[in-house]
Amino acid sequence: MADRPTSPRIPTNDTPSAEAAALLEHTLLRDGDPINIFGTLAHHPALMKQFNRMGGQLLRRGLVPGRERELVILRVGANARSRYEFGQHVLIGREAGLTDDEIEAITRPLGAHDWNDVDLTLLRMADELHLDDCVTETTFAALRTRWSDAELVELLVLAGFYRLVSGFLNSAGVELDEGVPAVDLPVSPAS
């Protein structure tokens, strides 16, 4: 497993193009400045625009309720050992109704917490995608008992999108924003 960078490999873009600056006006802000992921993506405005569309669809206009969405995102971030992704979504997960105990349990093996069946199946889905890029028949059958075809599509895309995001954040060395919890994620809980 690769060590995570301790400093940015791609710094935030402090002199964005007009197109990137316009996109940055509509992103999450901390103290008036865009959060670091968007400052880094601002090096490639066309990609940033599409990235924001997909992320916005999943976060603000998705079919899956926020709490369940955040379970998946946090588990993907924990499996990827992405401190940035996990930290940002600790804040979002709390807003969506996850408790601090649940958030902490997401970083541990599945049997270390008394998850309900819906939560456990979502976490298992994230783990299976992390380990083999395919959800098992057993887990998919369990997902199908709760989720529609449209919601299943969204859940699979959600896990894949946030795996991509986590890999980008890790590899670019995007630094935590001020006020975001720094959670130590030394080992994938799915391991």
pLDDT tens per residue across span 100-130: 999 999 999 999 999 999 999 999 999 999 9
> Which tokens belong to 102?
């649940």
For 130-181, the DSSP string reads HHHSS--HHHHHHHHTT--HHHHHHHHHHHHHHHHHHHHHHHHTPPPPTTS-
- Averaged pLDDT for residues 79-103: 97
Q: Report whether pLDDT(30) > 80.
A: no
The answer to whether residues 86 and 108 touch, using CB atoms and an 8 Å cutoff, is no
CA separation for the pair 6, 166 (Å, rounded): 15
Same domain, 57 and 74: no
Is 9 part of any domain? no
Q: 156: domain CATH number?
A: 1.20.1290.10
Is 3 part of any domain? no
Q: Report whether pLDDT(75) > 90.
A: yes
Is 98 part of any domain? yes
Same domain, 112 and 152: yes
- Averaged pLDDT for residues 148-175: 98
pTM: 0.96
The answer to whether residues 33 and 48 touch, using CB atoms and an 8 Å cutoff, is no
Q: Report whether pLDDT(186) > 70.
A: yes
Same domain, 40 and 82: no
> Which tokens belong to 158?
């959600």
Choose the final residue of a domain: 61, 94, 115: 61
Q: Report whether pLDDT(2) > 90.
A: no
